[in-house]
Amino acid sequence: MTSAAFPEPAPQKLSWRFPRTFWVANGAELLERAAYYGMFIALALYLTERVGFSDFQTGIVAGCFASVLYLLPMFTGALADRIGFRQALMLAFALLTVGYFTLGVSQQKPIVILALAIIMVGGAIVKPVISGTAAKCSDDAHRPRAFSIFYMVINIGAFSGKSIAKPLRTELGLEYINYYAAIMALLAFIFVALLYRNVGGEGSNRSVREIVRGLGKVFSNGRFMCLIVIVAGFWAIQGQLYASMPKYVLRLVGEHAAPEWLANINPLVVVLLVVPITHLVRRFKPASSIGIALGIVPLAALSIAVSPLLQARAGTQVDIFGWFSLHPITVMAVCGIALLGLAECFLSPKYYEFASKQAPPGQVGMYMGYQSLTTFLAWGFAFLSSGYLLTRFCPDPKTLPPEVYAQWQAATSTAAGASATPLPEAYAHAHYLWYVYAAVGVVAFAALLVFKFITDRIDRRREQAAQEAEVKASA
First to last CA, the chain: 24
What pLDDT is recorded for position 211?
59
Question: What is the SS3 assignment for 319?
Answer: strand
Strand partners, 325: 319
Maximum distance among all Cα pairs of the chain, rounded to whole angstroms: 94
Position with higher pLDDT, 8 vs 439: 439
pLDDT band per the 50, 70, 90 thresholds, residue 6: very low
Determine the residue type at 411: A
What pLDDT is recorded for position 203?
44
What pLDDT is recorded for position 114?
97
Query: Measuring CA to CA, how many Å separate 350 from each of 280, 289, 346, 394?
Result: 12, 7, 7, 36
234 near 297, Cβ under 8 Å?
Answer: yes
Query: 151-160, 195-204, 261-270: which range is least confident on average?
Result: 195-204
What pLDDT is recorded for position 7?
46
The DSSP string of 61-95 is HHHHHHHHHHHTHHHHHHHHHHH-HHHHHHHHHHH
Question: Mean pLDDT across the chain, nearest whole number?
Answer: 86
76 near 366, Cβ under 8 Å?
Answer: no
What pLDDT is recorded for position 96?
98
* Euclidean distance between CA atoms 147 and 451, whole angstroms: 24
> Mean pLDDT, to the nearest integer, of 360-372?
64
Residue 5 has pLDDT above 50, yes or no: no
> Mean pLDDT, to the nearest integer, of 89-109?
96
pLDDT band per the 50, 70, 90 thresholds, residue 270: confident
Residue 78 has pLDDT above 60, yes or no: yes
Residue 197 has pLDDT above 80, yes or no: yes
pLDDT band per the 50, 70, 90 thresholds, residue 12: low
Query: Taking Cα atoms as reference points, which of 119, 132, 117, 405 lies closest to residue 251?
Result: 405
* Euclidean distance between CA atoms 365 and 361, whole angstroms: 10
What percentage of residues in the chain have a pLDDT greater than 70?
Answer: 89
Residue 362 has pLDDT above 70, yes or no: no
Instruction: Let me know how many helices (H) and strands (E) the chain has, helices first.
Output: 21, 2
pLDDT band per the 50, 70, 90 thresholds, residue 312: confident
What pLDDT is recorded for position 474?
77
* Euclidean distance between CA atoms 458 and 465, whole angstroms: 11
Domain ranges of the chain: 18-412+425-463
> Mean pLDDT, to the nearest integer, of 242-264?
93
Residue 156 has pLDDT above 60, yes or no: yes
* Euclidean distance between CA atoms 226 and 321, whole angstroms: 45
- Render pLDDT for 313-331 as a digit per residue (tens, 0 to 9): 887 788 887 788 889 999 9
> Mean pLDDT, to the nearest integer, of 439-443?
96
* Euclidean distance between CA atoms 4 and 91, whole angstroms: 56
Query: 144-148, 195-199, 296-300: which range is least confident on average?
Result: 144-148
pLDDT band per the 50, 70, 90 thresholds, residue 4: very low
pTM, to two decimals:
0.83
Q: What are phi and psi of 107, to 5 degrees?
A: -110, 15
18-412+425-463: which CATH architecture? Up-down Bundle (1.20)
pLDDT band per the 50, 70, 90 thresholds, residue 415: low
pLDDT band per the 50, 70, 90 thresholds, residue 9: very low
Position with higher pLDDT, 346 vs 319: 346
Residue 147 has pLDDT above 60, yes or no: yes
Query: 58-72, 191-205, 382-396: which range is least confident on average?
Result: 191-205
What pLDDT is recorded for position 368?
63
Position with higher pLDDT, 83 vs 368: 83
> Mean pLDDT, to the nearest integer, of 172-193?
96
Residue 269 has pLDDT above 80, yes or no: yes
Name, in order, each residue with C-beta under 8 angstroms of 56's C-beta and a sequence gap of 6 or more.
Answer: 387, 388, 391
> Mean pLDDT, to the nearest integer, of 32-43?
96
Helix 208-220 to helix 73-83 angle (10° resolution) is: 140
Q: What is the CA radius of gyration of the chain?
A: 24
What pLDDT is recorded for position 364?
63
What pLDDT is recorded for position 324?
81
Report for 26-35, 310-319, 416-425: range of highest mean pLDDT: 26-35
